[in-house]
């Protein structure tokens, strides 16, 4: 057991990462925040529209899209990614030559839309129910993705570990974006930051449309908002967010990033604007505390971030002022006492 859980040392876990490594961890925390916040804000609408599991499906089925995009990228570059690995740092995908962002986004968008269409095809054209249709679609696409990744291990710049939990811990070792010779941020962080800002901006601009179509599709169409259009736009944006988050946190942990912040916030408030503020706070806590948890336990950073997010959910579940399991239990006891006293008084008086 002692080997499994390293001894906790405050200095090693909390002080040294910040004092001795020159801010490498800042990028990890920032990346974690951007990923969780962008996913979380998109996820709020998935939860509202009861489409959480469509998010699950898309996050899985983005994999074949990415694999094909990487394959195409390596064919264009005419090289072999396996020789380009940065072996000494252990980075699975050190080479950015084959990671053509445009191809990646196209591949992911195609995969995302294909998933939505396939689910609808199976659901509408046969008597298979929607839940089974979701399960069949994403597992088939994910299986194809995994097979592509293992067959073309040399050409596809992805490996099984990256698929499962991403490589957010290595984000500081990626090439930096430079402006006028100054190193600014690592490319993935910059990209994710842009996606985060775009997510926030899009939600701000289309706030009313999303709100109305999520809560009352009938009212939305009477106001001239096409629900189908909103649905597919949301799916497309979901694919964009998922694919940007993919290399950081992998295919499966993305689901946690999508659902946990929104679900936690939904337990704490009924007001949508407050939900978004809580999502941001949740994301900040997850990424910072997750990093330190990962440093202590020496486990994957993305996994630790999700564990912290899940803990926050559990806390909200237990102690939410209005809906918490424990607080609600106490309140009903207090109310029960009040009723008893009233009864006693009525009997006496």
Which residues are at the interface with another protein (CB under 8 A)?
A: 3-5, 47, 50-53, 55-56, 122, 125-129, 131-132, 134-136, 139-140, 142-144, 146-147, 150-151, 160, 164-165, 252-253, 255-256, 258-260, 262-263, 266-267, 297-300, 302-304, 306-307, 309-310, 313, 317, 323, 325
Instruction: Give the Cα separation of 321 and 258 in Å (integer).
Output: 24
Instruction: Give the 3-state secondary structure percentages of the chain, helix then strand then coil, rounded to 5.
Output: 80, 5, 20
Q: CA nearest 309: which of 266, 243, 263?
A: 263
Query: Rounded to the nearest whole angstrom, what is the least distance from the CB of residue 116 to another protein in the complex?
Result: 15
Q: CA nearest 112: which of 130, 148, 138?
A: 138
Query: Rounded to the nearest whole angstrom, what is the least distance from the CB of residue 319 to another protein in the complex?
Result: 13
Query: Rounded to the nearest whole angstrom, what is the least distance from the CB of residue 133 to another protein in the complex?
Result: 8
Beta-bridge partners for 86:
91
Complex with another protein: residue 32 or 262, whichever CB lies closer: 262
CB 82 within 8 A of CB 70: no
Query: Rounded to the nearest whole angstrom, what is the least distance from the CB of residue 129 to another protein in the complex?
Result: 5
Residue 300 tokens read as 């994957």
Complex with another protein: residue 129 or 343, whichever CB lies closer: 129
CB 203 within 8 A of CB 46: no
Complex with another protein: residue 95 or 263, whichever CB lies closer: 263
CB 239 within 8 A of CB 46: no
Query: Rounded to the nearest whole angstrom, what is the least distance from the CB of residue 123 to another protein in the complex?
Result: 11
Complex with another protein: residue 17 or 324, whichever CB lies closer: 324
Residues in the chain: 349
Complex with another protein: residue 190 or 310, whichever CB lies closer: 310
């Amino acid at each position: 057991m002692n080997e499994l859980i390293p001894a906790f040392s405050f200095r090693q876990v909390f002080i040294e990462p910040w004092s001795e490594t020159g801010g490498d961890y800042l990028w990890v925390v920032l990346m974690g925040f951007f990923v969780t916040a962008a996913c979380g804000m998109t996820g709020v609408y998935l939860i509202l529209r009861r489409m959480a599991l469509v998010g699950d499906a898309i996050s899985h089925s983005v994999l074949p899209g990415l694999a094909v995009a990487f394959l195409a990228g390596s064919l264009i570059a005419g090289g072999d990614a396996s020789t380009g690995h940065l072996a000494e740092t252990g980075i699975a995908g050190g080479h950015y030559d084959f990671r053509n962002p445009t191809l990646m986004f196209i591949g992911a968008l195609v995969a995302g839309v294909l998933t939505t269409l396939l689910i609808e095809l199976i659901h509408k054209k046969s008597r298979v129910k929607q839940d089974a249709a979701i399960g069949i679609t994403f597992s088939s696409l994910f299986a194809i993705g995994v097979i592509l990744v293992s067959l073309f291990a040399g050409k596809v710049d992805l490996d099984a570990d990256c698929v499962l939990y991403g490589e957010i811990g290595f984000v500081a070792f990626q090439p930096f974006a430079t402006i006028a010779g100054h190193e600014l941020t690592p490319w993935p962080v910059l990209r994710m930051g842009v996606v985060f800002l775009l997510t926030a901006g899009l939600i701000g601009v289309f706030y009313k449309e999303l709100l109305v179509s999520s809560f009352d599709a009938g009212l939305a169409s009477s106001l001239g908002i096409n629900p189908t259009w909103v649905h597919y736009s949301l799916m497309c944006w979901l694919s964009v967010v998922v694919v940007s988050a993919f290399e950081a946190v992998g295919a499966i942990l993305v689901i946690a990033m999508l659902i946990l912040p929104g679900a936690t916030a939904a337990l704490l408030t009924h007001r949508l604007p407050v939900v978004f503020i809580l999502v941001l706070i949740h994301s900040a806590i997850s990424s910072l505390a997750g990093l330190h948890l990962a440093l202590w336990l020496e486990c994957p950073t993305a996994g630790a971030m999700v564990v912290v997010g899940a803990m926050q959910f559990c806390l909200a579940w237990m102690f939410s002022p209005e809906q918490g399991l424990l607080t609600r239990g106490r309140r009903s006891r207090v109310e029960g006492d009040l009723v008893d006293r009233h009864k006693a008084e009525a009997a006496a008086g």
